Copies of this chain bind each other. A is one copy, B any other.
């Protein structure tokens, strides 16, 4: 990728495509959105050319740099996972490159690791958000830091001097959505949102007893039947159980001796919930808005390819 022309930065996940048209210096000139890769199977390339037609008509061939599921087996071109440790330089060196519409395309690889529990683990897209966090918060690049990116599949990443040393995934967002939407535990909670008050805190505390989650989950029901727990409080309790278990796993992965608070990269509602859960276990946390961190990470990788 040359440093003297406009280019496209793209965060292309399973469900959404976000594109930024950037000047040579990284200034955002325009934005566009499009379908996630899962919505355009077998025609990912056509979808990209369609969304960027006007930009290319105005500027000619535009190189592009992507992150996310666009590099998976259901994406455009597969970008093999980069094993940890990984930093901005190693990811910039490990780009998967190809040509489309007369321009250079590149995809940032996802990360793989064998996590501290001895299991394989993967991320794809979050590595670029982590690079964005490092770009926006340079203090995270020194010492031993724990970042959490809550969501459908929460990613807990351990950083040492700006490198992702290892990470671990919690199946927590999808699990909670299943339980509240499809199980007896979520009955009567339609339209409600979990709160971080006493019922949530109690759920976190219960999760920290170490009792297996299948047994703790049923408490959501039995406390309604025997203790008059309201559906709203049951929903918050359930959220506390799931987020508490996720948090316990993430903190255990980091293994102590952390510098600074845990950094939470998420929407304010999720940041509040994870910060409340971490507080129960005695850990401080700070939030970092995940909004355009992917763009910041994409720009950091581009800068690394030029240096």
The answer to whether A226 touches B122, judged by C-beta atoms less than 8 angstroms apart, is yes
The answer to whether B212 touches A213, judged by C-beta atoms less than 8 angstroms apart, is yes
The answer to whether A170 touches B212, judged by C-beta atoms less than 8 angstroms apart, is yes
In the complex, the chain B residue whose C-beta lies closest to that of A215 is B249
CA distance A184 to B172 in the complex (A): 13
**Contact partners of A248 in chain B: CB under 8 A:** 212
Size of the A side of the interface (Cβ < 8 Å), in residues, is 49
What is the CB-to-nearest-CB distance from A62 to chain B, in angstroms, rounded to a whole number? 31
Highest count of chain B CB atoms <10 Å: which of A154, A214, A218, A248: A214
The answer to whether A226 touches B81, judged by C-beta atoms less than 8 angstroms apart, is yes
Whether A206 sits at the interface, judged by CB under 8 Å, is yes
Whether A117 sits at the interface, judged by CB under 8 Å, is yes
The answer to whether B226 touches A112, judged by C-beta atoms less than 8 angstroms apart, is yes
What is the CB-to-nearest-CB distance from A246 to chain B, in angstroms, rounded to a whole number? 5
What is the CB-to-nearest-CB distance from A257 to chain B, in angstroms, rounded to a whole number? 20
Number of copies: 2
CA distance A168 to B168 in the complex (A): 30
The answer to whether B214 touches A245, judged by C-beta atoms less than 8 angstroms apart, is yes
Whether A306 sits at the interface, judged by CB under 8 Å, is no
What is the CB-to-nearest-CB distance from A158 to chain B, in angstroms, rounded to a whole number? 14
In the complex, the chain B residue whose C-beta lies closest to that of A229 is B120
**Contact partners of A122 in chain B: CB under 8 A:** 221-222, 225-226
The answer to whether A153 touches B218, judged by C-beta atoms less than 8 angstroms apart, is yes
Whether A303 sits at the interface, judged by CB under 8 Å, is no
The answer to whether A223 touches B117, judged by C-beta atoms less than 8 angstroms apart, is no
Give the contacting residue for A219; candidates B120, B154, B213, B221; CB below 8 A. Answer: B120
**Contact partners of A222 in chain B: CB under 8 A:** 119-122, 169
CA distance A252 to B212 in the complex (A): 10
**Contact partners of A213 in chain B: CB under 8 A:** 212-214, 245
Whether A269 sits at the interface, judged by CB under 8 Å, is no
Give the contacting residue for A217; candidates B175, B212, B227; CB below 8 A. Answer: B175
**Contact partners of A219 in chain B: CB under 8 A:** 119-121
Give the contacting residue for A117; candidates B117, B172, B209, B246; CB below 8 A. Answer: B209
CA distance A170 to B217 in the complex (A): 8
Q: A112-B226, A120-B227, A222-B119 are in contact. Are A214 and B184 (CB under 8 A)?
A: no
**Contact partners of A214 in chain B: CB under 8 A:** 154, 170-172, 175, 213, 242, 245-246, 249
